[in-house]
Structure 1
Amino acid sequence: MSVDEPEAVEAFERLGLTSYEAKVFIALHRLGSGTARDVARIADVPRSQVYSVAESLEGRGLLEIQQSSPIRYRPVDVDEAQDILRDRFESERERAFDYVDRVRQESTGEETQEDIWTVRGRDRVDDRVVDLLSSAKGRIVFGTRLPELVTEPIERTLECAVESDVEVLAVSRTDAVREQLGSLEGVQTDSPPSHHGEDHRSGRIVMVDDDGILLSVIDDDGSETAIWSSGSLFASVLIQLIEASTQTPS
């Protein structure tokens, strides 16, 4: 990959150097070593700024200063500079994420996220469905009218749930879906109550235990959008409402 100097300067800036630091460092590698006058002659850095920039680079371990008259500067070699910047990046990364993790742990007991989340896109909904199914401890209800929404990962996850003594019920108005899921050992199948009308925009429904739920719709362009919630009062109440609505009227 070939880059020009402005791109190299921008790359150094993303690694934590200032623009002047990057330009002085590059200029010294062109020179091998040099004075402030030498650096200012080939770099877009005022000579008056070279001294303080060089001191900063020395503090970073990226150049050496020869106490002569005039003072001369020499950059460390490229491999050493790479190691220094890599170590600095890793150190800053650890500091940043250690702080975020500490803040997250300190917030225990407070509401730190919304109860309801939105997921857009078939692949992302697939992943969220599998995650919810995998969290089941006692009971799963999975429903869809569309065979293409019953993916192999979903089938495997349902089979694993059955092996872990989780009760699995598959609900669909579509014969092909009931046959597909009913072929999985231990998976029970059923049809929605007859008093429920068919919704041609419905996608999937997942209910896990009594506090995990996902509902999706198929958009006009064929994409899928879902809302989901887990471990929340919202999920528990919505599951109760759905189960009450599926009971056959007396």
Structure 2
Amino acid sequence: MSVDENGAIDAFERLGLTSYEAKVFIALHRLGSGTARDVARVADVPRSQVYSVAESLEARGLVETQQSSPIRYRPVSLEEAEETLRNRFEQERERAFEYVDEVKRESSGEETREDIWTVRGRDRIDDRVVDLISDAEERIVFGTRLPELFTDRIERALEERSSTGTVAIGLSRDDRVRERLEALEGVTVETPATFPETDRRSGRIAIADDGILLSVVDDDGSETAIWSSGSLFASVLIQLIETGEAIPVDPSSSTERSA
């Protein structure tokens, strides 16, 4: 493929060089080395601009400067220049796409519809459960049928809040989850009154004062949750769950388990 100088300059610009930088770099390869006067003679760049452009190219690792009088410049080899630009392109690509990926994960991880929030992904749901529990002052309810959803972070948050006198109830039919809950001082362990034996979708529930989170697990193991706090939606949902006897309304009727 035949490329003329204008095409090459355009290509260098797409690689991040300015038009003047591309012209000076090409001119220096044409000359081998030269002063600002030499460069200005063969390139469409004013001599007064050559100095700053050459300094910029030197900072990019594309030009070397000889401190003589007058100052002389020479380009690095094409192989070295190509490697330098390739590395810079990769660094900028990674920086750009890492940021976009972070923005995408943040936006796809949690979204709002008025007072109801949707959270996707186990780590983000774990964060939200820990936040709800940590902010509770009066009562906490946490339950899950899956041991892997009762994480160490949630366990520590439950233990910390229950130690301050916050009422804490743990719900599960799974023996492994119950054993861990029972080992936490101040946490009351209950068996859900209503629990379909065929349930394979429920994830976890967390109620903390006037906040609630409910999650489901998909066939591929991914988890999605809705949560709300201090809203009419949250108060109605908590009331529906409690009056449905899935959660005991009066925790004093249960036997407190301790380590």
TM surpasses 0.5? yes
Partner of 2:31: none
Partner of 1:160: 160
How far residue 175 of structure 1 moved from its aligned partner, in angstroms, is 2.8
Determine if the alignment matches structure 1 residue 143 to structure 2 residue 143: yes
Counterparts of 1:93-242 in structure 2, within 5 Å, are 114-193=114-193, 195-198=194-197, 199-210=199-210, 212-242=211-241
User: Which whole-Å CA distance do the structure 1 matches of 2:226 and 2:113 have between them?
Assistant: 14
User: Which whole-Å CA distance do the structure 2 matches of 1:153 and 1:189 have between them?
Assistant: 18
Give the match's secondary structure for 1:200. Answer: coil
- Residues 81 and 137 (structure 1 numbering): CA distance in 2 closer, same or farther, change over 3 Å? farther
- 1:10-55 Cα offsets, whole Å, 9 max, x none, are 464xxxxxxxx72313434665636777444xxxxxxxxx68xxxx
Moved more, 29-38 or 135-144: 29-38
Give the match's secondary structure for 1:216. Answer: strand
Q: How many residues align?
A: 179
Please tell me whether the aligned partners of residues 145 and 174 of structure 2 are also in contact (alpha carbons under 8 angstroms).
Answer: yes
User: Which whole-Å CA distance do the structure 2 matches of 1:33 and 1:81 have between them?
Assistant: 17
Partner of 1:25: 21
- 1:140-179 Cα offsets, whole Å, 9 max, x none, are 1001111221111111111111233321110112233222
User: Which whole-Å CA distance do the structure 1 matches of 2:160 and 2:132 have between them?
Assistant: 13
Please tell me whether the aligned partners of residues 144 and 172 of structure 1 are also in contact (alpha carbons under 8 angstroms).
Answer: yes
User: Which whole-Å CA distance do the structure 1 matches of 2:24 and 2:18 have between them?
Assistant: 10
How far residue 189 of structure 1 moved from its aligned partner, in angstroms, is 0.8
- Residues 79 and 167 (structure 1 numbering): CA distance in 2 closer, same or farther, change over 3 Å? farther
Between structure 1 and structure 2, the one with the greater Rg is: 2
Please tell me whether the aligned partners of residues 136 and 161 of structure 1 are also in contact (alpha carbons under 8 angstroms).
Answer: yes
User: Which whole-Å CA distance do the structure 1 matches of 2:162 and 2:9 have between them?
Assistant: 61
User: Which whole-Å CA distance do the structure 2 matches of 1:174 and 1:78 have between them?
Assistant: 65
What's the Cα RMSD here?
A: 3.3
User: What percent of counterpart residues are identical?
Assistant: 54
How far residue 206 of structure 1 moved from its aligned partner, in angstroms, is 0.5
**Structure 1: 5+ residue stretches without partners:** 13-20, 41-49, 52-64, 67-71, 83-111
Partner of 1:108: none
User: Which whole-Å CA distance do the structure 2 matches of 1:33 and 1:225 have between them?
Assistant: 63
- Residues 29 and 149 (structure 1 numbering): CA distance in 2 closer, same or farther, change over 3 Å? same
TM-score (norm 1): 0.59
Please tell me whether the aligned partners of residues 170 and 189 of structure 2 are also in contact (alpha carbons under 8 angstroms).
Answer: yes
Counterparts of 1:31-110 in structure 2, within 5 Å, are 31=28, 33=36, 38-40=42-44, 66=48, 73-75=50-52, 77-78=55-56
How far residue 129 of structure 1 moved from its aligned partner, in angstroms, is 1.5
User: Which whole-Å CA distance do the structure 1 matches of 2:190 and 2:238 have between them?
Assistant: 17
User: Which whole-Å CA distance do the structure 1 matches of 2:217 and 2:239 have between them?
Assistant: 24
